[in-house]
Copies of this chain bind each other. A is one copy, B any other.
Amino acid sequence: MLRLSSKAPGFAEAFSRVVADRRESAVDVAADVAAILKDVRARGDEALAELTAKFDGHDLDTSGWSIDAEACRKAFDALDPSLREALELAAERIGAYHAAQLPENRDYTDDTGVRLGATWHPVDAAGLYVPGGRAAYPSSLLMNAIPAKVAGVERLVVVTPTPRGEVNPLVLAAAHLAGVDEVWRVGGAHAVGALAYGTGRIAPVDVITGPGNAWVAEAKRQLYGVVGIDMVAGPSEILVIADGKNEPRKVAADLLSQAEHDPTSQSILITDDAAFADAVAAAVEAELAALATRETARKSWDNNGVIIDVAAFDEAPALANQLAAEHVEIATDDPEALMRQVRHAGSVFLGRMTPEAVGDYVAGPNHVLPTGRRARFSSGLSVLDFMKRTSFIQLDQAALEAIGPAAVALADAEGLPAHARSISVRLGQ
């Protein structure tokens, strides 16, 4: 854990290093991924089977390529009732929040008589990547699948690795609840390639979303343009801005809730109370001792954790905007005042009773959020990631006479005479 104070000399440089470090990926897998994608594109299912045997240690022809709807339903029915109700509450709340995101079509005629508008349509098919192993999260499936369904996507395809053939029943239950149409037992960059290019068994999709490891993230990046993707995802992050009135163990729990995700995750505390900073540092140690995920959380906290004490909270927004963190908790008396100044953040959690984890599961907003300072330019997953807009224009003779000559003048100036001609030929010129 790195302890900084804005009052100490050299703070600006030390903080800049924290900011800069968050832009870099630890491993360069671009060449490996490019080779895998080329292979999947050329050899399709044959490549998928070989790579699955190699990376996941099972034979798709024996274990089965896909998991059918009946198996997903059974997994859902077999859930402990309290867990089933929790999943249902999550699905319902996520659905309600995302339904309100649906964009409105436009269709109007302006003063010049030009009819203008835009129509939104869902994509035909979406592919959702669901990580296997440690990160096989049913909540992640809901957060990706529900916005797609709300958008109106007709074909929803999940790819998920099943290491050594092991299927995660929670993921199947969530797939049933979310109405997923196909579940394929493939993961890694090759699964992403299969979704983008299609194989003999898997029809191609138009958009690919969902979190994954460095290979999956790089595959999505390389396929951007062949398909739409949600965002390049990196390690989880949380920035907690908290005053000394908070209980240290609560803030410590919040910091550790991101640290337990992965050794590369990052948790940062900004406080205006140096004694509180020390108390949180001590509380983190106490919490860690009792935490089942302490091995991962300890690595993350020791290597990437940061505690910063500032002279006053009016310094915090500038620091937060530089970090542009995925999650920002504001646990102060007037969280609203700080939020108004935080322009770059994936999601903000206001007040002392809004731990970030509530947003991971049941609050409603999406938990797929920009990481690695990408909140400077990108947003959390939404129904818009599964939709696209077609603009339209309609002119009559009078409207073309009103604005056509200006277009002719510009086309001529740009050296595009056929553009000009297509207008002038209709103006009787």
A182 to chain B, nearest CB (A): 18
Flag whether A299 is at the interface (Cβ < 8 A): no
State whether A256 and B421 are in contact (beta carbons under 8 Å apart), knowing that A392-B348, A395-B358 are contacts in the complex: yes
Contact of A360 among B361, B380, B388, B407 (CB under 8 A): B407
How many residues of chain A get a CB closer than 8 Å to chain B's CBs? Answer: 123
Q: Enumerate A343-373 residues with CB–CB distance to B below 8 Å.
A: 343-366, 369-370
Partner of A426, one of B250, B392, B421: B250
Say if the beta carbon of A73 comes within 8 Å of chain B. Answer: no
Q: Are A363 and B257 in contact (CB under 8 A)?
A: no
Task: Please report which residues of chain A, range 233-265, place their CB below 8 angstroms from some CB of chain B when the two chains form the complex.
Answer: 247, 249-250, 253-254, 256-257, 259-261
Q: Given that A170-B413, A353-B397 are known contacts, is A419 also in contact with B257, CB under 8 Å in the complex?
A: yes
Complex: how many Å from CA A256 to CA B249?
70
Contact of A390 among B93, B346, B390, B391 (CB under 8 A): B346
A121 near B: Cβ within 8 Å?
yes
Looking across the interface, which residue of chain B has its beta carbon closest to that of A88? B406
A403-429 CB mask vs B (1 if < 8 Å, else 0) is 111110111011111111111011000
Task: Name the distance in Å between A136's Cβ and chain B's nearest Cβ.
Answer: 8
- Is there contact, CB below 8 Å, between B392 and A339? yes
* A394 x B116 contact (CB < 8 A): no
Of B101, B116, B347, the residue contacting A97 (CB under 8 A) is B116
Known contacts A116-B364, A410-B90, A416-B260; is-contact A232 B228 (Cβ 8 Å): no
Main secondary structure on chain A at its contact with chain B?
mixed
**CB of A282 within 8 A of chain B?**
no
Within 8 Å by CB of A361, from B101, B231, B346, B410, lies: B410
User: Which residues from chain B contact A350 at a C-beta distance below 8 Å?
Assistant: 115, 392-394
Q: Judging by beta carbons under 8 Å apart, are B393 and A388 in contact?
A: no
Does A62 sit at the interface, judged by CB under 8 A? no
Chain B's closest residue to A370 (CB) is B388
Most buried by B among A339, A364, A416: A416
Contact A377 B407 (CB under 8 A): no
Residue in A221, A349, A376 whose Cβ sees the most chain B Cβ within 10 Å: A376
With a cutoff of 8 Å between Cβ atoms, the chain B residues found around residue A110 in the complex are 96, 364
In the complex, what distance in Å separates the CA atom of A232 from the CA atom of B221?
Answer: 12
A52 adjacent to chain B (CB < 8 Å)? no
Cβ proximity bits A381-400 to B, threshold 8 Å, 1 near / 0 not? 01010001111111111011
The 10 tightest CB contacts between A and B, nearest first, are A225-B232, A228-B377, A86-B406, A365-B391, A350-B394, A355-B422, A357-B419, A253-B422, A379-B389, A361-B407
A253-B425, A348-B390 given; name 7 further pairs at CB < 8 Å. Answer: A206-B377, A259-B418, A260-B419, A345-B390, A355-B426, A357-B423, A364-B393
Query: Could you list 23 examples of A-B contacts with CB < 8 Å?
Result: A23-B226, A83-B413, A90-B406, A90-B410, A116-B365, A118-B365, A139-B414, A207-B377, A225-B374, A228-B377, A256-B421, A260-B419, A261-B416, A287-B418, A292-B417, A347-B391, A351-B395, A353-B426, A356-B422, A358-B393, A362-B406, A362-B410, A365-B391
